[in-house]
Structure 1
Amino acid sequence: MINLTIEDRNGDRQPVEIPEGINLSLMEVLKASEYDVLATCGGMALCATCHIQVLEGPEQYFHATDNELDMLDTLPNADEHSRLACQMRVTEEMDGLVVRLK
């Protein structure tokens, strides 16, 4: 199992267990776990409604891709730890990741 911790917009943290090899994006996992993530564009990195911040975890997850950065630049509350959940594929290396919904 892949263990993540999700901090909602109220600051409450909940663990989420994801089976290994699920081949979903973090956005899809958040929606399936009934978190309030709009994901208006359906995971195409065009709307930024799945904006999260990486708080803890492997270093590789702290850095957005160029496509993400273009979209994140349109948000007033984005920072160096911001990511788009739709662009993060769930893998075993994510175990222990802590993210905050924005």
Structure 2
Amino acid sequence: MNQELVFETHQLQTVIRADSLHTCLGVVTDLRLWVVMHTAAGEARLGVDVFHKGPPESACWSLAFAAEVAVLEAAPELAAALDQAASPTSPVQA
């Protein structure tokens, strides 16, 4: 994983901290792979929150967003799996 990112869990929320929001946005593939690993562990409901350390800027990276990224990266099979995992009516398969 990217050495500039720090993964922490606080009160059932998984947080990714980085030197800048740009750093987070620049590692879409690493982030997507982490979301996929998190999904495989049966914790898809957590999603991922990305916070900027400086000004109060933030962005939310959900499984649905990761699915869109997968489509953009020409990985439709991954996008379909993430869409299914993100569905509130679909159980997450470990």
TM-score (norm 2): 0.31
TM-score normalised over the length of structure 1 = 0.29
Q: Which has the higher Rg, Structure 1 or Structure 2?
A: 2
